[in-house]
Chain A
């Protein structure tokens, strides 16, 4: 059953990914100007005959539908084209930027999950207490703040006014590698990137746990004399936390989107900054390459969380 479920999810994901590439390819066609201009600008000192030869050797003289398959073949081989600014391969630029982004997102996700779960559980366990009201209202605030705004306020308060942290960057330039220096630069962006998702996970955990506490089996366990603590930690928590796996899958896109802003505010040298540089310079190959990589990452995490959920929750219906 499990194998069949995973196969079916895979069979759905692959066409979606192909549709994503088609959509991106259609968008590419709307880019103003001749695609040849990216390789030979209109004012380049080459003859019309040379242009025709170049157009042919690049495969640009084929109809758009045929070129889609060329483009798909190149893309599958990891060839995402050349950057307009310095003619470096887009795939190299992405490979250089992906590390810092993964560090930032990983740290931020860990903070969001750990604190979100802990605060959510305490809030639900002490429903109506000062702690609960305070953190429930704070969570509302957390999901209502744009990521760049909270990043700017954090930068202003903790780096510019209090001087507790550096005002951005990946490390102190010109210094040898030092773990503490990296952490010092990482804390602010990771913490402020996590705010939205921390609030989302906290809200979700709290309401899932409260719903579970209201179930009959909890009342039965309490009636049989099981202590409130044990009922909460052994019975309710287990059932309430299973769906959190899917929530974590669902916040990956918002984490990626937030990273664009947070990297911009904190000058973090990752994919988000690279992407924004591409957007501002109208570097289409770079923008499209990163968009494609992002979409593939989102689809992959969706697939993984669906499978993880099916593995850990025996109640899941495989025929859905």
Chain B
């Protein structure tokens, strides 16, 4: 859409860029649908106690490996735990791991990217070589190797995923800072003696928010996939704490895979729905924040 044709501008009210970006986002049907599904998934996970009276870990050996009934919507697992309740509570863990791990990688990536892009020279060289090194490994291999050494668990899973994904935001922020560094408003701030940390935080950083937001949303999707993979292999979130990944771990047993699909299928569908929703949101945000790039 052309700027000059914006009806609001013709009417004389000039909307801020963020308002216009919001408008573009809301006109993207896929993005809005993705957002709605994501909000629904978060609400369902958080509201788990309201939706089921079963707890995630209550055993009921008399009713193990049941099919779906009105009592147990998704049936029960091999030791009689309610699969519906476990899937809901697992959502809390999987979503939290995805968000917190992404925040860690955004923090590290933005910090290193800003320093590398702003100061250049030897700092830039070192940071970028470090980025190359980390990116030389397939993410899941680094995760498994680190988990082997540190030992699996909730905290390890979050930190390790956070440590793997920072190179992507780092590169994006760095390339933005390289350009910002030369802009007049930054040089003017330098010339009048604004301290370096203030220039970076107050003047330059707000200009990379769009990049960080877009990456952040897609990063959450990646982090959820990584957590699921790690837990599926038994090296991530450890039972009895449920996560979508370790619920699917039950399917590694060929008879469970064949006879009891309701024990592993709901968690997988939950992962696919979540990641799909987040990908729609992320692409919508990218198109809304940078109208020049068409998806």
Contacts and interface: CB of A to CB of B under 8 A. Distances in A.
B62 interface: no
Contacts of A211: 294
B140 A260 contact: yes
A298 B136 contact: yes
Q: How many B residues are at the interface, by size bracket? A: 35 or more
B94 to A, nearest CB: 11
Contact of B257 (A32, A144, A145, A155): A155
Interface in B135-160: 135-142, 144-150
Contacts of B145: 27, 279, 287-288, 291
A152 B133 CA distance: 32
A187 to B, nearest CB: 19
Contact of A280 (B137, B140, B234, B261): B234
A90 B268 CA distance: 35
A261 interface: yes
B133 A279 contact: no
A281 B291 CA distance: 51
A264 B233 contact: yes
Contact of A295 (B136, B225, B264, B272): B136
A20 B221 contact: no
A143 interface: yes
Contact of B133 (A23, A141, A144, A145): A23
Contacts of B142: 291
Given A30-B150, A149-B268, A294-B138, A16 B144 contact: no
B190 interface: no
Given A140-B279, A144-B272, A294-B137, A156 B261 contact: yes
A123 to B, nearest CB: 13
B294 A207 contact: yes
A264 B132 CA distance: 28
A253 B138 contact: yes
Nearest to A145: B272
Interface in B103-139: 129-130, 132-133, 135-139
A32 B149 CA distance: 7
B53 to A, nearest CB: 29
Contacts of B228: 146, 148-149
Contacts of B229: 146-148, 261
Given A15-B129, A152-B264, A207-B294, A20 B136 contact: yes
Given A30-B150, A144-B275, A287-B145, A152 B140 contact: no
A148 B232 contact: yes
B101 interface: no
Contacts of A144: 221, 272, 275-276, 279
Q: Which of A153, A207, A278 has the most CB of B within 10 A?
A: A153
Nearest to A265: B252
Interface string B252-295: 10100110010010001001100110011000000000000011
B137 A291 contact: yes
A248 interface: no
Contacts of B144: 260, 275-276, 279, 287
Contacts of A298: 136-138
A208 to B, nearest CB: 11
Contacts of A23: 133
Interface string B25-48: 000000000000000000000000
The 7 closest A-B pairs by CB, nearest first: A257-B138, A144-B275, A144-B276, A257-B140, A253-B138, A295-B136, A149-B268
Given A155-B257, A210-B294, A260-B233, 19 more contacts: A16-B129, A17-B136, A19-B133, A20-B136, A140-B276, A146-B228, A146-B232, A147-B229, A148-B233, A152-B264, A156-B261, A160-B257, A211-B294, A253-B137, A253-B139, A276-B233, A287-B145, A294-B138, A299-B136
21 contacts: A27-B145, A30-B149, A30-B150, A31-B149, A144-B275, A144-B276, A145-B272, A146-B225, A146-B271, A148-B228, A148-B229, A148-B248, A207-B294, A257-B139, A261-B233, A278-B148, A279-B233, A284-B148, A284-B149, A295-B136, A302-B136
